[in-house]
Structure 1
C-alpha cells in the first residue's frame, strides 16, 4: 500500500472533486435561478456584491472548487509521472550524496494505482545499472534507493569486492546488455582517485565501474573487510553467491562497504518497484558541527554543480 502522504493526496483530490461536482450539479443551478428572479424583479444588472448576498456559494464548495485543479494536477504528476525524494544516507555515494533531492520516474517500470500500488499497465522493466527506488522488502513503509545489479534469472557473485554476473540466456550467446551467457562476467572498473572521500580517517577508493556497458562511479573502503558472515544465505549457493528468482531483482549501493542491500536482506520483488531515479533537482549541504546554533535540518549551502541527470 502507498505511503500516508500519497493516500492523503488521493483522498483530498477525490473529496474536493466530489464537493465541487455536487455543488456544480445541485446547488449552482439553484443559485442561478435566484439570481435570474432577482434580475427580473430589479430590471437592472446586479452587481457582484448583490449577487453574493442573493446567492452565496458555500465557503467549503468555493474552497473545493479553487483547490481541486491544483491538487488533482499534483496527484497525477506525483502518482504517475515523477515523485520527489530526498537522499537520507550515504549508501549511494558518490553518485548520490546526503542532501540531494531527486526526481523518480514513476512510469519507467509500469503504471500503478496510487493507493494499493497494483499494476495497471506494463511499460518497462529495470535494466542492470539503473539507479532505482523501491519499497524495502522487510518494511514497505520505507523507500530505499540502490542500483540494479542482477535481473531475474541472473547469478551474482560478490567476491574480493568485485562483481561477477552470469546472465540468464543461452550459453555461447550474449544477452541484451553484452554479457556472455553461460559464464560469469567480471564487471570491469577503473581507479578514479583515492582520498576525495574520507571515512573515519580512511581515504576511500573512487572507481568507475562498467555494469553491462553502463558507467557509474562507486566507493570502496580499503580498510573494511568483506562482511560475508552477514550475507543473505540462499539454499544451494555459496556464501557470496545469489541466484535471482523470477520476478525479483538484486540491488546494491554504490558505496559498497557502507550499504545495506541485497547482499544482506535478499531480493527486491517486482511489486515493490517505485521507479527509476533520473534527476537531481536540488542539493543542500548541512552543518555537521554539534556546536552549531542551526538545527541539523537547516541547509547551510547549495551544491549547484550536482544538479542534473543521474548516471
Structure 2
C-alpha cells in the first residue's frame, strides 16, 4: 500500500477545493468591521439597553405562564405610545410596603385598569361585576378581597366588598393566585411604577420543578 506524499496531498486538496463552498463565497466577512460597523453595533447596543432588558424569574408567582429559572425579554418602549392594557404582563417597582425593599422588582398580570371595580370571591375574579374567564391561572384563588364597599348599576340593591382602581393605577395579580404578593394584598399599582412589558421567554431550563412556592421577579425579580 502506498501513501500520497504531503506535497502531492496538498496539491490535490488545492485543486479540488475552492472558496465557493463558503456561505459568503469569500473571506471578506472575516475583516475588521471598520468604523461604520462599530457605529452600527454601538447604536444597536444603546437601543437594546434603553428599550429592553433580560430578567430572571426566581419564584412561582406567575406559574404556569412563567416558571422558576425562566429568562425573559422585557421591552420598555410601548408604554410611551400606549396605555397598559388588560392581560399585559408587566414588571414594576414594588410599592412601599413593610418588608419590601425599594429596589425590588415584581412581575404580574394586569387584570383591571383605572375606573374598574375588582373583587375576588368564591374562587373567581370579578371586574365591574362580571366574572373573568381565566384559563391561564394555576388554580382558583382561595382568598376573598374585602376592602371597600361598592355597588354596581346592574345590582342597585346589592353591596359588595371590592377594590376600586383610581386614575393613574392598574390592578395586578399573579397567575399563581394563591402564591403571589400582589394587588389583592397592597391594592392598585401606580402606573408610574411600571418598568416594562414581558415579551417572551428566551430560555427555559429543562431541569426545573413543575411548581414552586413563592411570589414575583429582578435581573432577578422578586415576589
Cα pair 1:249 1:268 within 8 Å, conserved:
yes
Query: Aligned partners of 1:287, 1:186: CA distance in 2, in Å?
Result: 33
CA contact (8 A) 2:68 2:208 kept: no
Runs of 5+ consecutive residues of structure 2 not aligned to the other structure: 1-37, 151-158, 210-223
Correspondence for 1:88? 58
2:91 paired residue number: 133
In structure 1, the gaps of 5 or more residues are 1-66, 111-122, 167-183, 190-207, 209-216, 289-311
Q: Are positions 1:265 and 2:186 aligned together?
A: yes
- Give the deviation of 1:225 after TM superposition: 4.0
CA RMSD of aligned residues (A): 2.6
Indicate conservation of the 8 Å contact 1:232/1:266, yes or no: no
* Number of equivalenced pairs: 160
Structure showing greater relative contact order (alpha-carbon pairs closer than 8 Å, 6 or more residues apart): 2
TM-score, normalised with respect to structure 2? 0.64
Give the TM-score normalised by structure 1.
Answer: 0.47
- Give the CA deviation at 1:136: 0.8
8 Å contact from structure 1 (residues 219, 254) kept in 2: yes
Q: Which of 53, 71, 94 is matched with 1:101 structurally?
A: 71
- Once the two structures are superposed, residues 8-34 of structure 1 have per-residue CA deviations (whole angstroms, 9 ceiling, x without a partner) of xxxxxxxxxxxxxxxxxxxxxxxxxxx
**Map of 1:1-311 to 2, 5 A cutoff?**
73-80=44-51, 82-110=52-80, 123-138=81-96, 139-166=101-128, 184-189=129-134, 208=135, 217-220=136-139, 225-226=142-143, 228=144, 233-234=147-148, 236-237=149-150, 240-285=161-206
Compared with structure 1, are the counterparts of its residues 136 and 105 closer, same or farther at alpha carbon in structure 2 (3 Å cutoff)? same
Using the alignment, how far apart are the partners of 2:116 and 2:189 within structure 1?
Answer: 13
| CA apart distance, 1:78 | 2.0
